[in-house]
Structure 1
């Protein structure tokens, strides 16, 4: 894994090489092993690269890399998992190779087959910049699901790109927060592509490439707006979830057993490919369905016990480490665990806004970073189970939302509003107590996170007019009209529009929406930044495009069965792990933020809020939301975490400038 940077155009007082070195210096964590650059001063273009050596540790893997035909230069971040297969195919067609890196295979494939054909053949996670010396064209490409990041845009007349915003910030003179991006952030909890937090800087959409001609040390930007699709130069998709859905055949499985065996076979092949590395390799193990499946199959396809890593919490309501340990013992992995407290979180919090160089409101960023740091003590690569929820209908909200909507639709709207007002009068702590008491009467241990918060969300759902609006509310942080902003821009990116015609059920549409935006915008961003901050490569076998395509060829009835989510994936796991080690309420990789904000994080949070004299923010509203949370009148932890992540990000950026 690596980090890439590039620039077209020079700035006064700095050479291309100096700018490239500055940019690359901001992402040393992505590639601590070496730095390289290539430049053409006559055209004012330069590519830079930071290397984390995974395949071919020799100098033959050094980048930027030139093709043997001398037409192309490439700066590549990622892994091509089927590069050995492609290498054999190219060798049979007469290509010679000097090293063993996947980058050399990639650039020779482009030289021989062209970019379009190569993109259709490669399997992996990647973001790269390709310079065509014959045409003076630079092409940026990003992998199918958005596992690897790529930012690009303009600083005045200069064109820049990078794996992270830090590299752009370091050479920028005046970056402005984009008002639409900020509104989107408070709504969704992340800034959705193609926006970035800064005006004029964009994220390349997953599964697309974009080309720019370089003329006179400039890249043309006239009428450029990938947000409104009015650009003369627009990202071109080479793969999309929508096309997978549109092209999917009817389920080709005659029986459920055929589907189980088919998924198991696909996962074994994918995980075997992703276990290839010239450095030590391990896996994250939370004890949930997804990570347990990945680890179980790793144990089957690899000759040595897998090194597994998990994070535990002192708060038993959020702790799954004991479940992970049981699964590890059954599978025979070499297991490592670390328990964290509120103080551990407090120690990490000041670093979050530098690790995640855009604000992101997903509090599982904390354990994700800590488990990455734990793993990096022993290994350089870790496999992870991310993606299973979005592909195999694993989120409780899918089933919950459909059930709630069907039930509440039977009530007249005016009655729903009355019930909603009644529920909202009572604080979350009341509903937590009621749930625990009823659960114990029923013989259950009453262990369920954030019941009060979920009941309050249910109240708001009762006031929604349609199921799409209800789902939009369910996954939001702040609502338009109550943003903590003095004024806010209109949200033009509606993630819930234009679902493919082939999707008839709400749950299918919700999975599509989540794969399109939440997965790359939140989940994959979280994993990439957390792991790369400690120079750890993470691989996500469930997001191999063959698994994605398999999932969409599988009917919903095999994903949710008898109210059980991820049914098909569970059946694969049951081949390797007893059911009794798996079946328990879903907890997710969450942290007790609500409690911490009233305890060990309270002083930090109050200091940020007290200092938040930012013209953009409505401090009166912010204090109201904060005081409601402290009095336990309402659980505002999600809203407050989104706010605090922005405040800390803003404080560090303003202080730096």
Structure 2
């Protein structure tokens, strides 16, 4: 796990070494063990690298690395889990160079030298972002892993093509003055994150997962974004999987999944540094840890975070699983103050507006793990692949019930709910509550009725899914001068609309929420403390297998992950696992009315918002007032605004 930077600009007149080292220095958290630069001023290329040493801790793993043939130069972030098998294949073909060490970077260069870019990428099993310079053709290749575990930004700054693992490195390029992309900002306020290929800055993009992009030094054009080429397509995987459905029993599927996870883990347990795992006590992390422990002769180191607020605490469940499996378990109970102390760090960690509030506990558990290990495995991806999110079974249920209401009935109910505002409904229920027992009283019934009103206006399954994702239904009303562009959730790939609603949601989550929300959250939270994370479920062979499974092996009787549970219960008794799903969250609504109130009021001051000129002050302040008085719960929406304001204050 590392960080990479670079620029391509034959006309650069500044200090090449000082510039690339300055960019490189912004990523020291991603690679505290070593740094390196490689410059060819005549060709107009500069590459930089920060190293977190995981495989081959010797200087033989130093980057940027030049291929044995001298043609290619590589900077690489990530891990290639099958690199030893690739070495064997190259040796059998007589194409292996004299190996200088045992790093996967050296293996990658040999693979590119022998097979070329596309074939080599297709052979890789792993997570990666890389920049490859071909000295013969003067061509730069940028590439990213299939699912998008590792980040890679690129774009134009002052006439140069600049690229890096994080935006802070791009901002360090001389004369950076790219404006905020207001259209991308509207996307942020819809989803809480900015979907690829957009970034918060104009003329800077994220390379989509599973693609590569090539630039010729002789044909650079700052007016062109470039067209990424796919070497792996999730859409193709889905279509193939649904037409070649798994034919065995559920027990057979669990056995096949166990084989594939073991295969994935055997590659991901390869490290020359201490290794452990996050353990929440849920299905996904418990499955990963159970199989890790079965492959290990020593107790696996596991880590969990506990909260004193019972509604957010899963630590006791993780502890019970750890005791059953015999892991070397560490749990740490955090106070609310410790969690709140992370908030000022978030804009530096995430580098562009990002408002998944579980970023806070994710960073904290990474801090705890880093005290003992350099690599931690996680259970991310299980929800998207095996139907774990509540919305996968609630959305079809709600849709069927809404559809069961005649249009005339929906019209009458909508008009009835429109008679009062959500605040007025709260006031009405405040009077009714006095006559109801405590367990039937609702303090924010207006929120619930407003959600019902919106559901009654939805005219398609796809629109209902979008409503579940959206924090702001019309973000362009919030962002001054914005025109929200299309995204995969608003303009899905051809053929996706023919899928069942459950498969439709899982497919789009894999394409959007997973790479642009979940994986961003984990990567920045962990790399902020120089911790490498590995995700066994996202081995592309497991992804491809998961899409061959029929729906009933994933979701049955309003419960997801059926085949995954069947596998897990070979190692862990069901009573340790079976409980309502909890989010990895914080008591945000409460904090915004108490400990975070002064901080929030300062960032959302209407005069300040007016002077900055990005958001409509009246709308923001309305949300703030209603939340503070308890009339509405706008915690998620306000967190989005606060994270943008905090980012704006620090990074722009």
2:412 is matched with which residue: 394, 415, 418?
415
Aligned to 1:230: none
* Structure 1 residues 303 and 75: CA distance shift in structure 2, 3 A: same
Asked if the contact 2:307–2:334 (Cα under 8 Å) also holds between the matched residues in 1, the reply is yes
Asked if the contact 2:37–2:46 (Cα under 8 Å) also holds between the matched residues in 1, the reply is yes
CA distance in 2, matches of 1:352, 1:156: 28
Find the residue that maps to 1:176 and give its secondary structure: coil
Return the offset for 1:535: 0.3
1:239 is matched with which residue: 232, 235, 241?
232
* Structure 1 residues 42 and 62: CA distance shift in structure 2, 3 A: same
Aligned to 2:120: 118
CA distance in 2, matches of 1:423, 1:260: 50
Q: CA RMSD in A?
A: 2.4
Aligned to 1:495: 489
* Structure 1 residues 280 and 195: CA distance shift in structure 2, 3 A: same
Asked if the contact 1:420–1:462 (Cα under 8 Å) also holds between the matched residues in 2, the reply is no
**Deviations along 1:305-361, whole A, 9 cap, x unmatched?**
111111111211111111111111111111111222321222111110000001111
1:362 is matched with which residue: 349, 352, 356?
356
Aligned to 2:380: 386
Aligned to 2:202: 199
Find the residue that maps to 2:604 and give its secondary structure: helix
**Deviations along 1:54-92, whole A, 9 cap, x unmatched?**
000000000011111111000011000011111111122
Aligned pair count reads 635
Aligned to 1:564: 559
Aligned to 1:76: 76
Aligned to 1:145: 147
Return the offset for 1:98: 1.3
Aligned to 2:587: 592
CA distance in 1, matches of 2:429, 2:88: 65
Aligned to 2:34: 34
**Deviations along 1:95-132, whole A, 9 cap, x unmatched?**
13110100101110111111111111110000000000
Find the residue that maps to 1:304 and give its secondary structure: coil
Farther-moved stretch of structure 1 (279-288 vs 484-493): 484-493
CA distance in 2, matches of 1:354, 1:166: 8
Return the offset for 1:440: 7.3
1:461 is matched with which residue: 450, 455, 458?
455
**Deviations along 1:508-547, whole A, 9 cap, x unmatched?**
0111111111111111001000100100000001111011
**Deviations along 1:281-309, whole A, 9 cap, x unmatched?**
00001111111111111111122111111
Aligned to 1:582: 577
Aligned to 2:504: 509
* Structure 1 residues 596 and 275: CA distance shift in structure 2, 3 A: same
**Deviations along 1:213-233, whole A, 9 cap, x unmatched?**
002xx72334x24xxxxxxx4
Asked if the contact 2:603–2:646 (Cα under 8 Å) also holds between the matched residues in 1, the reply is yes
CA distance in 2, matches of 1:418, 1:240: 45
Return the offset for 1:28: 0.3
Aligned to 2:626: 628
Unaligned runs of 5+ in 2: none
TM-score by length of 1: 0.92
1:105 is matched with which residue: 104, 107, 110?
107
Asked if the contact 2:292–2:300 (Cα under 8 Å) also holds between the matched residues in 1, the reply is yes
Aligned to 2:616: 618
* Structure 1 residues 423 and 511: CA distance shift in structure 2, 3 A: farther
Find the residue that maps to 1:3 and give its secondary structure: strand
CA distance in 2, matches of 1:386, 1:420: 39
1:538 is matched with which residue: 533, 542, 566?
533
Return the offset for 1:418: 4.2
Asked if the contact 2:475–2:484 (Cα under 8 Å) also holds between the matched residues in 1, the reply is no
CA distance in 1, matches of 2:41, 2:595: 53
TM-score by length of 2: 0.93
* Structure 1 residues 135 and 324: CA distance shift in structure 2, 3 A: same
Asked if the contact 2:190–2:475 (Cα under 8 Å) also holds between the matched residues in 1, the reply is no
Unaligned runs of 5+ in 1: 226-232
**Are 1:285 and 2:279 an aligned pair?**
yes
* 1:202-601 paired onto structure 2 within 5 Å: 202-215=205-218, 219-222=220-223, 224-225=224-225, 233-248=226-241, 249-411=243-405, 412=407, 413-418=410-415, 420-421=417-418, 424=422, 425-427=424-426, 456-480=450-474, 483-499=477-493, 501=495, 503-601=498-596
Aligned to 1:229: none
**Are 1:55 and 2:55 an aligned pair?**
yes
Asked if the contact 1:419–1:459 (Cα under 8 Å) also holds between the matched residues in 2, the reply is no
Aligned to 1:184: 187
**Are 1:166 and 2:168 an aligned pair?**
yes
* Structure 1 residues 301 and 67: CA distance shift in structure 2, 3 A: same
CA distance in 2, matches of 1:429, 1:571: 48
Aligned to 1:23: 23
Find the residue that maps to 1:409 and give its secondary structure: helix
**Deviations along 1:175-197, whole A, 9 cap, x unmatched?**
20011111111111111111110
Return the offset for 1:12: 6.8
Asked if the contact 1:72–1:130 (Cα under 8 Å) also holds between the matched residues in 2, the reply is yes
Asked if the contact 1:268–1:297 (Cα under 8 Å) also holds between the matched residues in 2, the reply is yes
